[in-house]
Amino acid sequence: NVHWFISPTTYLLYKLYYDEGEIWEDVYMDYTNALKFGIDITSSPPTWFYPLYDELGIDADKLPKLAPVGEAIGIAKSRFAEKIGLKNARLYQGLTDGNAAAIAGGAIDIGDINMYIGTTTVPKIVVDRIVTHPALYYHIHPIKGYLAGSATGFTGAFLSWYSEKVLGMPLDKASEYVEKVKAGSEYMFFPYGDRGPTYNPLLEPAITGIKISDEPREILLGRFIRSIMLGITLLENYFIELFRELFSIDTNCVNLTGGGTKSKIWNKIRASVYGKKIIVHGDLVGTGVIIPLLIRNRFYSSIDEVKRMFLKPIDTVEPDEALVEVYRPYKDAFIRRWLKLQDLYRA
């Protein structure tokens, strides 16, 4: 009884387009959602990777056609569209949340880097070629080139959990103590390794280097929070260095989006660990959905005009040279020690 294999995004779009009881004769899925179903983005235009479906015994005729992000679908004319107030709205192909967040955070031109920090961390860079690496996967960039990137295990989720469940206070309150902690006195925090870059389910989070000290409670609480922030930042920096190594791109700034960008002290730590200016765009995703369709359908005369209209950073943070020197040794040791944890968890 299956008629189509489609993504939830595609289902919602065509539920707005086709009326109840009407046969869905012509269905397209955007390239970014289709990647999760198995498309070959090395072909031009992209096609379904049919050997995968042959191996699984899935009828490839039940796969939708493929469409670029921002491609027009038509007018929302269903009773469902009318019921939710969207009747006669123009429908366009969308994209996945990680890609939308990257574009909302300025990942438009070759070499642009965006770091989305939320429940997990999603690093992405715009590139003009594919270089295979076990830590990375690729999407077709909705405007030009590719978006190379990854998705980590829980980062922001672990920070919030530790603050609320272990320390017994909201993260906003615990974060107030971070500035009281001397830079360089942090413990070493290692996040989950079940997703990028290691894809090793043995790598559970760990905090090492803990020492007994007769310091005020606020300092100790702040040190734990700051240590987790630093560990997440060192993971982000790993990807920035990997991008530089693989693509010979050494950008002078990194764009940030997501709920984990609200802390000014954390952003100062980031800029200092990266050794680069950071541009904060806030907790945005929706703008990244709009930008590709505006460009593809020529609502504006140029990409630069769209960028001026819709990319509006809320803060810029420069590296603190003193912190750059303090955190330099941490950068060298982080990945090496993180991988050594595999032996501990295997024991």
Q: Measure the CA dihedral 145/142/257/150, to 10°.
A: -60
Tell me what pLDDT residue 86 has. Answer: 98
Give the residue from 69, 92, 115 where a domain finishes.
Answer: 92
Residue 318, in any domain of the structure: yes
In a domain, 2, yes or no: no
Q: Are residues 174 and 150 in the same domain?
A: yes
| Strand ranges (E), 247-342 | 253-257, 277-280, 315-317
Burial of 282 (0-12, 13-18, 19+ CB in 10 A): middle
Asked if residue 259 belongs to a domain, the reply is yes
Q: Are residues 105 and 80 in the same domain?
A: no
- In this structure, the answer to whether residues 137 and 81 fall within a common structural domain is no
Interval 143-162: pLDDT, tens? 999 999 999 999 999 999 99
**What domain range includes position 262?**
96-347
pLDDT at 284 > cutoff 90: no
My answer on whether 343 and 255 are in the same domain is: yes
pLDDT band at 164 (very low <50, low <70, confident <90, very high): very high
Single out the residue in 60, 76, 92 at which a domain terminates. Answer: 92
- In angstroms, the CA 29 to CA 73 distance is 10
CATH of the domain at 285: 3.30.420.40
Let me know if residue 69 belongs to a domain. yes
pLDDT tens-digit map of 42-97: 999 999 999 999 999 999 999 999 999 999 999 999 999 999 999 999 999 999 99
Chain centre distance of CA 136: 12
Radius of gyration (C-alpha) of the chain in whole angstroms: 22
Residue 269: which H helix or E strand, with range? Answer: helix 264-274
Per-residue confidence band for 346, with pLDDT thresholds at 50, 70 and 90:
confident
* One-letter identity of residue 257: T
Distance CA 102, CA 125 (A): 8
Q: How much is the pLDDT for 1?
A: 81
Two tokens at 316?
């810029």
Residue in the structure block whose two tokens are 């993971």: 235
State how many domains the chain has: 2
143 with 192, same domain? yes
pLDDT digits (tens, 9 = 90+) for 174-230: 999 999 999 999 999 999 999 999 999 989 999 999 999 999 999 999 999 999 999
Is 3 a member of any domain? no
User: Nearest 5°: CA angle at 64, between 59 and 66?
Assistant: 130
